[in-house]
Amino acid sequence: MGVQPKIAPSMLSSDFANLASEAQRMLDCGADWLHMDIMDGHFVPNLTIGAPVIESLRKHTKAYLDCHLMVTNPLDYVEPLGKAGASGFTFHVEVSKDNWQELVEKIKSKGMKPGVALKPGTPIEEVYPLVEGHNPVEMVLIMTVEPGFGGQKFMLETMDKVCALRKKYPSLDIEVDGGLGPSTIDAAASAGANCIVAGSSVFGAPEPAQVIKLLRKTVEEAQQ
């Protein structure tokens, strides 16, 4: 497989009062990306951060800011997040069935990498047109918990989607998010996920660097 392992600690589990130093700590521990959960209180019940926080963090880091938009109107966020310095912009297929081509074009025009996410209950077939379109997304994020809150239990049944996706698109970046850690990484890696979002399992660990190293090694071994 020609896809690189990317470990993306979820900053939702960090100390938001010290976001810049928490981001640096994760990079020092070996993180590839920083995963930023943007929730609008509407598509999901929780409300988190927006473009102003991304912009503030961007002043302190050159890291890849992997933004996951759990919002009802992703189009409204493209321009502000592009300006703020977001690196990746992943929107939900559930809210973008009608305008995804316009959305992907806009995301790319602002210099961000487009991705599409789907909830555990959404059939994987719904993202195929977005991967195969003339202007395709560059990553698919498979939620392994219901989006909206950190610390939930990993849903093993979502791995069938990862398998189907990897079989169909050998060189696609496939991200998994929710309940990932040392006890669930084997299932995700062997199914074919290469981008791993981990929140409490990394931030709650006595040695976050060891957890990040283990996640990466498991993905690398599964690819061999």
Tens-place pLDDT, residues 37-48: 999 999 999 999
Is residue 149 very low, low, confident or very high in pLDDT (cuts 50, 70, 90)? confident
13 is annotated as contributing to ligand binding: no
151 is annotated as contributing to ligand binding: yes
Total-model pTM: 0.97
Is residue 97 very low, low, confident or very high in pLDDT (cuts 50, 70, 90)? confident
What is the model's pLDDT at position 198? 97
Catalytic residue (one of 37, 40, 66, 173): 37
What is the model's pLDDT at position 148? 83
68 is annotated as contributing to ligand binding: yes
28 is annotated as contributing to ligand binding: no
How far is Cα 37 from Cα 118, in angstroms, rounded to an integer? 14
How far is Cα 34 from Cα 46, in angstroms, rounded to an integer? 20
What is the model's pLDDT at position 126? 97
The verdict on whether 98 is a catalytic residue reads no
Break the chain down into helix, strand, coil percent, rounded to 5.
Answer: 45, 20, 35
6-223 belongs to which CATH class? Answer: alpha beta
Average pLDDT score over the chain: 96
199 is annotated as contributing to ligand binding: yes
The verdict on whether 177 is a catalytic residue reads yes
Structure tokens at 63: 């890291």
* pLDDT tens-digit map of 120-131: 999 999 999 999
Catalytic residue (one of 40, 66, 173, 177): 177
Q: Strand order of the sheet with strand 33-39?
A: 6-9, 195-198, 173-177, 139-143, 113-118, 88-92, 64-70, 33-39
What is the model's pLDDT at position 173? 98
Tell me the average pLDDT across 32-36: 98
